Amino acid sequence: MKAFARLLERLAFTPGRNAKLTILSQYFQTTPDPDRGYALAVLTGGLDLRQVSPSMLKRLAADRVDEQLFRLSYDFVGDLAETISLIWPGEASGANADVSVADTVTLLRETGKMALPGVIADLLDRLTPPERLALLKLATGNLRVGVSARLARTALAMGTVRSVDEVEEIWHGLIPPYLPLFGWLDGGPPPAPVQAPFRPVMLSTPVTPEELAPLEPADYLAEWKWDGIRVQAVAEGGERRLYSRTGEEIGAAFPEIVAAMEFEGAVDGELLIRRGAEVAPFGDLQKRLGRKAVSAKMRETHPAALRLYDILTWEGEDLRALPLQLRRERLEAATFDADRIDLSPILSFTTWEELAALRAAPHTEVIEGVMIKRRDSPYIAGRPRGPWFKWKRDPKVVDAVLLYAQAGHGKRSGFYSDFTFGLWDGAELVPVGKAYFGFTDEELRELDRFVRKHTVQRFGPVRQLAPELVVEVAFEGLNASPRHKSGLAMRFPRISRIRWDKPAIEADRLETLRAML
């Protein structure tokens, strides 16, 4: 556990991508099996454990630590795992040499629910504070060390004869601790292939009008950016699988799409809720996401549809090396014979000004913007800069009042960085959302000072604030939500500006936000 604890600590306090890659690569090269495989699984979200709940951890702490001391410490630190790792009484017993990542994973997987608190407490007694933190982050699955699955796999390929694209290509279907994968990286045979595998997706990068200006419009295709979720539909060798953009299989939640996949190939598109020709807001799709099964009633009221914009393989032929123009022609020539599957239309434009006009006034509000793709681009895994761009519509904004604040995690654990904000509804401020980013480091320090000086009440780690500070909140979309007091839910809210100049009474009203729906 010592090496894993050191890994997480170094990653949490290392901001640079290349530095993180070096740290990860060294860990994978020097750590024995199976610990390195389980660490890789944790970092890539591939470890299925009996996760420890925050309530269980709080009960454990209450049995060992004075309640008032724990409350004050948690309020100051802001992170539950970090608080417990620091405040847990006693020194390590000296038996911690035998606590490996693999042993910990086995205990978390095989221990029953009733016995699990005692096992966690025993492990905490045997470990040092940094190791306790690593244990609790492993157990809760809440790492927050700034490492994406792609970055971890990139580091994995460093120093080997394999490229990250080769690793991505065989990744789906591998099981922790990935012994065949590490053997292959060391020059051995590749892991056994799986049927209907997930292919790593090609991603776009944001673009501005200034960046588009020197480019030749004729070299690009454009289509709408739909407000759904990116999926890959694969029907090969008698198997049918519907994957999210990260490779998670989600077909159980959308059986009508799987049933409609009467083809042999792999296609790339957007999963939507579509009633007739009308695409529904993202909130309708959200009601079906994450389900292990879906009722006939839900399929009737929220019918799923697949809107395609690329083709990866077809009838045994890998098409990813072809230029987009040819892949589009192959996609249009393919036969799907399904009402729930159609193609995303290509937009007609000859200048960037014409495309800007289309982007500014789409025919439906569920369109987020436009996608711009080079006609000659092959389908490349990852996020290469240049071939594909996303030009989203300008965000919506409201001026809101800060109501509550909570300390952040990791590098932000000493600052109040998680904010709840509200709008006026009559004479009352109603919470309408939360934001965790959008501000600079200097603005974060200013916000933290404001929180500490303007706290009026405390609820554990949460501080209620005097309703005095206005912030401009930018967001990408808005959905009706009966779960929220305001009846609305923002998509991707962030604090875009701090309005030190604006009195709280002049913040926006709830009806202003409702009008944007």
* pLDDT at residue number 411: 65
| Chain segment 359-374, per-residue pLDDT in tens | 999 998 889 999 999 9
Collect all residues with Cβ–Cβ distance below 8 Å to 240 and sequence separation of at least 6: 196, 233, 234, 251, 258, 261
* pLDDT at residue number 477: 83
Collect all residues with Cβ–Cβ distance below 8 Å to 231 and sequence separation of at least 6: 242, 243, 244, 245, 250, 268, 269, 270, 271, 306
pLDDT (average), residues 483-511: 92
Reported as a pLDDT band with limits 50, 70 and 90, residue 475 is very high
Collect all residues with Cβ–Cβ distance below 8 Å to 273 and sequence separation of at least 6: 228, 279, 280, 284, 285, 288, 302, 303, 304, 305
| Chain segment 129-161, per-residue pLDDT in tens | 999 999 999 998 888 788 988 899 999 999 899
pLDDT at 413 over 70: no
pLDDT at 458 over 60: yes
Say which of 20, 137, 225, 373 is annotated catalytic: 225
| Chain segment 170-195, per-residue pLDDT in tens | 998 899 999 999 999 999 999 988 88
Query: Domains (ranges, CATH) in the chain?
Result: 1-140 (1.10.3260.10), 205-392 (3.30.470.30), 396-515 (2.40.50.140)
- Cα separation, 511 vs 424, in Å, equals 9
**225 a catalytic residue:** yes
For 279, the 3-state DSSP assignment is strand
pLDDT (average), residues 453-476: 92
- Cα separation, 122 vs 116, in Å, equals 10
pLDDT (average), residues 92-110: 79
- Cα separation, 60 vs 440, in Å, equals 37
Considering all CA atoms of the chain, what is the largest pairwise distance in Å, rounded to the nearest integer? Answer: 72
- Cα separation, 134 vs 27, in Å, equals 15
**Residue of higher predicted confidence among 48 and 157:** 157
| Mean residue pLDDT across the chain | 92
* pLDDT at residue number 97: 57
Reported as a pLDDT band with limits 50, 70 and 90, residue 98 is low
* pLDDT at residue number 484: 86
pLDDT at 94 over 70: no
Residue 491 near residue 432, CB atoms below 8 Å: no
Residue 1 near residue 99, CB atoms below 8 Å: yes
Enclosing H/E stretch for 205: strand 205-206
CA 377 to chain centre: 26
- Cα separation, 60 vs 54, in Å, equals 10
Which one of 160-164, 186-190, 220-224 scores highest in mean pLDDT?
Answer: 220-224
Q: What's the sign of the alpha-carbon dihedral 410, 142, 472, 209? A: positive
- Cα separation, 143 vs 410, in Å, equals 9
Q: For 449-484, b where at least 16 C-beta lie within 10 A, e where not — what string?
A: ebbeebbeeeeebbbebebebbbbbbbbbbbeeeee
* pLDDT at residue number 146: 84
Residue 404 near residue 222, CB atoms below 8 Å: no
| Chain segment 295-316, per-residue pLDDT in tens | 999 999 999 999 999 999 999 9
- Cα separation, 252 vs 410, in Å, equals 35
pLDDT-above-90 percentage for the chain:
73
Six token digits for residue 378: 């092959």
